[in-house]
């Protein structure tokens, strides 16, 4: 972790951090959802509920990104590669692993693990759509979006 990262704790022994840039996207997602999506989808909610749900949506997006990165990290650890940290950033997350994978096969499985987690979450939310109107249009697509943003961040 560096001085621009807020430590959040450890999961599976991996230090989890939050880059300060995260607050910008957190604010933008919260605002967008609170003034756009939720008022259009749920017309009878009080204004404060739109803002609470907007903030919850932003947090859940980053929980999805964290789970995506944990997918990469757990598979890397199964190949005996130490994961130094996971950092959540403005456009996704980065898993910092200590060494190159031992083979192309290992690299493939480590690379595919994150998107597999995101697809699984998208599928879960899609299956839960009949249970909740909130899941109908937004949550399955959040995880599909997290694949592209997290994997973009993985490549830098």
Residues known to be catalytic = 69
Please check whether residue 149 is in contact with residue 88, taking contact to mean a CB–CB distance below 8 angstroms. Answer: no
Three-state SS string over 71-111 comes to HHHHHHHHCCCCEEEEEEECCEEEEEECCCCCCHHHHHHHH
CA dihedral in degrees (119, 55, 66, 64; nearest 10)? -10
Q: Which of 77, 106, 89, 58 is nearest to 14 (CA)?
A: 77
71-99 burial by CB neighbour count: b if 16+ within 10 A, else e? bbbbbbbebebebebbbbbeebbbbbbee
């Amino acid at each position: 972790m560096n001085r621009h990262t807020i430590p959040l704790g450890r999961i599976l022994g991996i230090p989890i951090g939050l880059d300060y840039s995260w607050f910008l996207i957190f604010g933008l997602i919260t605002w967008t959802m609170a003034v756009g999506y939720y008022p259009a989808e749920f017309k009878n909610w009080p204004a404060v509920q739109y803002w609470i749900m907007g903030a919850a949506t932003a947090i859940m997006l980053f929980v999805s990104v964290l789970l995506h990165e944990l997918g990469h990290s757990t598979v890397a650890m199964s190949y005996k590669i130490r994961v130094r940290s996971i950092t959540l950033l403005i456009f996704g997350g980065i898993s910092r692993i200590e060494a190159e994978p031992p083979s192309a096969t290992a690299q493939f499985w480590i690379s595919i693990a994150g998107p597999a987690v995101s697809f699984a979450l998208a599928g879960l939310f899609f299956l839960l759509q009949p249970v909740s109107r909130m899941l109908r249009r937004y949550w399955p697509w959040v995880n599909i979006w997290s694949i592209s943003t997290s994997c973009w961040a993985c490549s830098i």
